Amino acid sequence: MKIDYLKLEKKINFKFKNRNLLIKSLTHKSFDKINNNEKIEFLGDRVLGLIIAKKLLEIYPDEKEGILDKKYASLVNKKTCLEIAKSVNLQNYISVFNPKNKSVIIEDKVISDSCEALIGAIYLDRGFNFTEKIILNLWKEKIKESVITQVDAKTKLQEFSLKKFKKLPIYKTISDTGPRHKPIFRVAVKLQNTKFYNGDGKSKKEAEQNAALFCLNDNLTL
């Protein structure tokens, strides 16, 4: 069955100067033991990592390394590559061993690896700037979603307190009011040499988060 690579180029909005690079990037070793995508995948993995790391530093110039690490990992892992690949139906363009020329189900790992190989092929064909443009377009929504991996206020307050005072924040429950099915919790938190900051919530955990946020906002410039 002939593969329509032009259709894929339209999906990713990129036309290869050297179509052989595209074909090689989507050729699994089971199909061709010599001219396959293993080495080009190795390159693509590194190129993807560099571009995502560069973008995260641009978006979050003042963020801590630990948080950037979490965001980075969520954007370059195999699961994300698989989702990006399937968003352009990459599985329809991969050549695998298929002697009877029947419809085959391609393994997820093969698809995600091929996504990285495709990135490597784009880099070899046109260089860094073109590759960066393609990746940031394909990963646009994933980069927006990366905010989910941010560390919560309570964790940030703990890190701040340990760094500044070498002590943990002190939390205490002030009240638990309202009906059993709809309680309202009030929790207070303080750092060394600060007042208590109150936070309310539908759960004790939520109240602690809100109290930590108030405390952070008032003390980060200490």
> Given phi > 0 = left and psi -120 to 50 = alpha, else beta, which region is 89?
left
Which one of 45, 113, 125, 132 is the catalytic residue? 45
| Per-residue model confidence (pLDDT) at position 42 | 98
Query: Could you tell me the pTM of the whole model?
Result: 0.67
Q: Which of 149, 178, 209 is the last residue of a domain?
A: 149
**What pLDDT is attached to residue 149?**
43
The pLDDT assigned to 104 comes to 80
* 116 is known as an active-site residue: yes
Query: Edge-to-edge strand order for the sheet containing 197-201?
Result: 170-177, 184-190, 197-201
Whether residue 168 sits in one domain with residue 136: no
116 and 35 share one domain? yes
Q: Are residues 144 and 159 in the same domain?
A: no
Residue 12 sits in a domain whose CATH number is 1.10.1520.10
**What pLDDT shows up at residue 1?**
63
The domain in which residue 157 lies consists of 153-219
Q: Do 121 and 170 belong to one domain? A: no
Which amino acid is residue 175, in one-letter code?
A: S
Q: Which of 116, 125, 132, 208 is catalytic?
A: 116
Q: Please check whether residues 102 and 120 belong to one and the same domain.
A: yes
| pLDDT value of residue 148 | 46
CATH of the domain at 170: 3.30.160.20
Same structural domain for residues 91 and 186?
no
- Residue ranges for the chain with pLDDT beneath 50: 148-150
Examine the residue annotation and report whether 176 is marked as an active-site residue of this protein: no
Say whether both 54 and 158 belong to one domain: no
Asked which of 103, 122, 149 is the last residue of a domain, the reply is 149
**Same structural domain for residues 132 and 157?**
no
pLDDT value for 221: 55
Residues 83 and 71 in one domain: yes
User: Does one domain contain both 184 and 78?
Assistant: no
The verdict on 137 and 168 lying in the same domain is no
Please identify, among 149, 174, 190, the residue that sits at the C-terminal boundary of a domain.
149
**How many domains are there within the chain?**
2
Residue 214: burial class (beta carbons within 10 Å; 0-12, 13-18, 19+): middle
Same domain, 113 and 177: no
Provide the CB-side half-sphere exposure for 38 (13 A, CA).
8
